[in-house]
């Protein structure tokens, strides 16, 4: 049985996964190379838990308890005590490979090494370890505490036992797991590319303007958000990076081709809500 979960990277996803795991009653070791990042992650988790208390989703006692379950640790070797380690650093393949290479030296036999990559190859990452059968993809969605889905990604050498253990773990965290092969973008980031890609093409061809396309998508078929407001929320740079990654990994399959409008916006630094300007202004 899993009792201790190590989380590497204390950004939005890492701290969210740590909070989620602690809420589910696991002991969590939250690791980051930056002590400052760890400190602010703990503050962020505390604030999130406070919000849950205010909304009546968690009791004050549970929130305090949850916090004590998370140990922020700067030293990489401390992760050796974890049964399952979930890596959630930036989408940088060399960085992830390096982390897994080092994990291989410190973890206990039988430990599961999961990566929260959204579009990189799990098999590539696994190849840096001596136990590729225990390496798996566990792709959470933002914010991990609220989004129900986890994509469990089977690498070329992932064992059935590993898959079954992370399935149990996802269920224990209250998530709905789906299973996919190690293909570019897995399920969601692949199929959703067309939602953005076709919308950008429609805009580029002048078929309709940004607010009109968003309105049509929301009102005619029941999508909660239009493609442009969603890209502004996600970040045009983030969306563009995923598109490029999926496109390259699919050997430049035309369906995934990044659109020049998006590239221009990334270069201009109009990245959506976070820069107060994207497809819409935010003042």
Partner 1 sequence: MAGKPKKGSTPTTDRKASPAATGVSIIGEESLVREYATSCAACGMEVTLLSSDNQSFAGKPPHGVRRTGKPPASTAIALELTNTSRPDKKENLRSLDALLPPSALILSSSVAVTLKTQSAWVRHPERLAGIAALPTFLEGRLVEVILPPRASADSLERLKKFFGALGKETAVVKDSPGMVMPRILTMIINEAWFALADETASATDIDTAMKLGTNYPHGPLAWGERIGLAHVHAVIEGLHRGFREERYCVAPLLRRAASAAHPE
Binding site for partner 1 (CB under 8 A): 141, 147-149, 151, 176, 178-181, 183, 186-188, 190-195, 197-199, 202, 205-208, 212-213, 215-217, 219-225, 227, 254-255, 257
| 31 is annotated as an active-site residue | no
DSSP assigned state of 151: E
The one catalytic residue among 10, 118, 239, 245 = 118
Residue 69 annotated in active site: no
Element (H, E) at 153: strand 149-154
Whether 189 is catalytic:
yes
Q: How far is the CB of 269 from partner 1 (least distance, A)?
A: 26
- Does 259 participate in catalysis according to the annotation? no
Instruction: Kindly state the smallest distance separating residue 47's Cβ from partner 1, in Å.
Output: 25
Instruction: Report, in Å, the least distance between residue 65 CB and partner 1.
Output: 28
Nearer to partner 1, 55 or 224 (CB): 224
**Which listed residue (139, 229, 239, 259) is catalytic?**
139
Of 134, 151, 229, 239, catalytic: 151
Closer of 133 and 198 to partner 1 (Cβ): 198
Closest separation in Å from C-beta 26 to partner 1:
22
For residue 190 the two structure tokens come to 């692949």
We find the least distance from the C-beta atom of residue 282 to partner 1, in angstroms, to be 21
Q: Give the Cα separation of 50 and 58 in Å (integer).
A: 9
From 10, 52, 116, 189, the catalytic residue: 189
Residue found under tokens 């630094």:
269
Look at residues 134, 137, 133 and name the one whose alpha carbon lies nearest to residue 121.
137
Q: State the residue for tokens 């490029």.
A: 244
DSSP string, 56-101: TSS-HHHHHHHHHTEEEE--GGGGGG-SEEEE---S-HHHHHHHHH
Task: List Cβ neighbours of 79 (8 Å cut-off, separation of 6 or more).
Answer: 6, 8, 29, 31, 73, 85, 103, 106, 107
Give whichever of 132 and 144 is closer to partner 1, judged by the CB atom: 144
Q: What is the rounded CA–CA span in Å between residue 96 and residue 127?
A: 11
Cβ closest to partner 1, residue 32 vs residue 214? 214
Q: Which is nearer to partner 1, 55 or 252 (CB)?
A: 252
Which residues are known catalytic residues?
118, 139, 151, 189
């Amino acid at each position: 049985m899993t009792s201790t979960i190590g989380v590497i990277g204390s950004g939005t996803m890492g701290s969210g996964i740590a909070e989620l795991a602690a809420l589910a009653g696991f002991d969590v070791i939250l690791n980051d190379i930056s002590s400052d990042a760890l400190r602010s992650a703990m503050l962020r988790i505390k604030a999130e838990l406070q919000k849950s208390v205010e909304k009546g989703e968690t009791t004050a006692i549970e929130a305090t308890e949850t916090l004590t379950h998370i140990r922020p640790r700067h030293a990489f070797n401390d992760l050796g005590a974890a049964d399952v380690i979930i890596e959630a650093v930036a989408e940088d393949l060399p960085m992830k490979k390096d982390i897994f290479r080092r994990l291989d030296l410190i973890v206990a036999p039988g430990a599961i090494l999961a990566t929260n990559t959204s579009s990189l190859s799990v098999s590539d990452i696994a190849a840096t370890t001596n136990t590729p059968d225990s390496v798996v993809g566990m792709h959470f969605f933002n914010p991990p505490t609220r989004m129900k889905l986890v994509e469990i990604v089977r690498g070329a050498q992932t064992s059935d036992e590993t898959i079954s253990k992370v399935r149990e773990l996802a269920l224990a965290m209250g998530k709905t797991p789906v299973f996919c092969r190690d293909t570019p973008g897995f399920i969601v980031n692949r199929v959703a590319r067309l939602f953005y890609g076709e919308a950008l093409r429609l805009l580029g061809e002048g078929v309709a303007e940004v607010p009109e396309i968003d309105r049509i998508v929301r009102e005619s078929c029941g999508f909660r958000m239009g493609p442009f407001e969603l890209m502004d929320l996600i970040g045009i740079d983030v969306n563009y990076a995923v598109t490029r990654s999926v496109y390259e990994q699919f050997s430049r399959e035309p369906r995934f081709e990044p659109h020049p409008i998006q590239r221009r916006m990334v270069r201009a630094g109009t990245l959506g809500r976070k820069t107060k300007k994207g497809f819409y202004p935010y003042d």
